[in-house]
Amino acid sequence: MLRRFTSLGRPIDWAYPSNRQIVLLSGSFLLASLVFQVLWRGQVDFWTALWGAGWVFATWALGRELDPDRPANAFWAAFAVGLGLLVRMADWSVQGVLTGMLVTGVLMLAARVTARTSGCRTTYLDQFVLAVSPAVAAWLCGSSLWPLALPVALALAFDAYRDKNRRQFVLGLILALGGGLLAWLLGGSRPPEVGLIGSLVVLGVVGLGFRAREPALSPADNGQPLEPHRVTWARVVGIVGALVGIALIGFSPFMAVGWMGLFMLFRRSRAS
């Protein structure tokens, strides 16, 4: 019923071991973070621990969009993020952890539209939701997240281009521009960081140089075969988003561990 209106929803299917594993991992991280807070800080910040568990889950969700054939890679990427968060617990702040979860969530939606792992065509509602997601994230965490409009625009543009839908192409770019402007207004108008400027320079080289096209053998949620070209471009969106995310959140040690976990997804398949 939900698929008639949106392609963004992918429910947890308990029949798949990978889905059960991520629920267990996220729950274990939540409990471990609460225990560690008591031992190290002498107090408990439940919301920070909850956003951290959400960040772990969002990383897994992003990972299964980028590498639908190997769910184990998504699991280990999520594990890397959780481990990095626990190791650097002294640096935790509610805003920082919430920002990490929201940035990863926005990138997950962009990758989902690009890879079309739900199997459903993108609707105008999907375009609107994805375009305003950076603004909603900026409002929730109070950070300047307008650069996220870049991977969002890439996702919307590629999706409409593959469908040869000029109307959605133009509308998607307009919505992405408006969403980025709204995120800039809601999150603050501070100038871009040096890291962001460097990321914008590098992302073009990375995006053009990425040529690993592996066959996507796993079916979409509706049983239809995935398009390898879409999965490849979802990875390009993920790389661009990772560079922007590092610039937004900062390149602290635990962030380095977390994003390195995501790049594990891009290893080539062994020859069959």
* Spans of all domains in the chain: 12-266
Q: What is the dihedral of CA 254, 135, 64, 209, to 10 degrees?
A: -80
What string of pLDDT tens digits covers the 272 residues of the chain? 556 667 788 888 888 898 999 999 999 999 999 998 888 777 788 888 999 999 999 989 988 888 888 888 888 888 888 888 888 777 778 888 888 889 889 999 999 999 998 888 888 899 999 999 999 998 998 888 888 888 999 999 999 988 888 888 888 889 888 888 888 888 765 544 444 445 445 544 444 444 445 556 788 887 788 888 888 888 888 878 877 776 676 654 444 444 544 554 455 443 33
Residue 270 to residues 70, 115, 214, 239: CA-CA distances in angstroms? 12, 22, 11, 22
Q: Residue holding tokens 């992003």?
A: 62
Q: What global pTM score does this model have?
A: 0.84
| Rounded-to-integer distance, Cα 31 and Cα 27, Å | 6
DSSP string, 154-191: HHHHHHHHHTT-HHHHHHHHHHHHHHHHHHHHHH--PP
The one-letter code for the residue type at 35 is V
